[in-house]
Amino acid sequence: MISMFQTLYDIGGPILVILLLTSIFTLGLTGFKYWQFRSDRIGQLKPLKSAVRALDGGREGDARAKLAASKHWLASIILSALPLRGRDGLIARLEAEADQALQPYESGFRILDTIAQLAPLLGLLGTVLGMIDAFQALQSAGSQVDPSALAGGIWVALLTTAAGLSVAMPTSIALSWFEAQTDRERAFAERAFTILVTPEMREAATTEIGAVGYGT
């Protein structure tokens, strides 16, 4: 392991070693976030959709059973809110609870975003430093310039840019996927909270219409 880092240092300098360490850290963080999302069923909304449809259709007993069987973070919030329907500010309270529940899943996003932005800049910095060394060697050689040596110095310098992009692009793709999953979760939660409130309103409206019908 040490010899590998020494080889990379000899080829691309400290920037290449930093990018390698960054890629290892990013791979570990991405793997952890993926495991966290899968184990907690983030993005797997099909069972919850069935429960929300039952709730929307007025089948509260069926909805309760499906929510109780679900291990999704949103199920417990909806289940605990069922007795509170009709209270003022319920949706705002539920949205605040949902934001708090999503925070552990969104942790690490800023780190991944920082890596995705800084990795290309680190690679570019390594390229600039390598080009400076290459042109310094060119100046020192004077009239006895070896074109192959100059070309070798340039490709080594460009290697850090390629390494930086290789770290940044997969990180950006992974971050976009994670953010898309949490955005779906939040959008579905908002819809579910609205449906949680509206059935009671719809039942009241139906009762009122029925009373008017009987009167006529």
Long-range contacts of 174-179 (CB under 8 A, 24+ apart): 174/30, 174/33, 174/112, 175/109, 175/112, 175/113, 175/116, 178/33, 178/37, 178/105, 178/109, 178/112, 179/109
What value does the mean pLDDT of the chain take? 80
Q: How many domains does the chain have?
A: 1
Summarize pLDDT for 157-177 with one digit per residue, the tens.
788 889 999 999 999 999 999
The half-sphere exposure of 53 on its side-chain side, counting CA atoms within 13 A, is 6
170's CB contacts (< 8 A; 6+ apart) are 26
Is 205 within the bounds of a domain?
yes
Residue 203 covered by a domain: yes
Instruction: Flag whether 146 is in a domain.
Output: yes
Tokens of 40: 């907690």
pLDDT score of 210: 40
In a domain, residue 8? The reply is no
Would residue 10 count as lying in a domain?
Answer: no
φ, ψ at 88 (rounded to 5°): -70, 140
Range of the domain at 90: 15-215
In a domain, 6, yes or no: no
DSSP 83: G
pLDDT value at residue 171: 96
pLDDT tens by residue, the chain, 216 residues: 566 656 665 666 788 888 989 999 999 999 999 999 998 888 888 888 888 888 888 788 888 888 888 888 888 888 888 887 777 788 888 889 999 999 999 999 999 999 999 999 998 888 888 777 777 766 676 666 666 656 666 777 788 889 999 999 999 999 999 999 999 999 998 888 888 877 544 444 334 334 434 343
The answer to whether residue 3 sits within a structural domain is no
Residue 5 domain flag: no
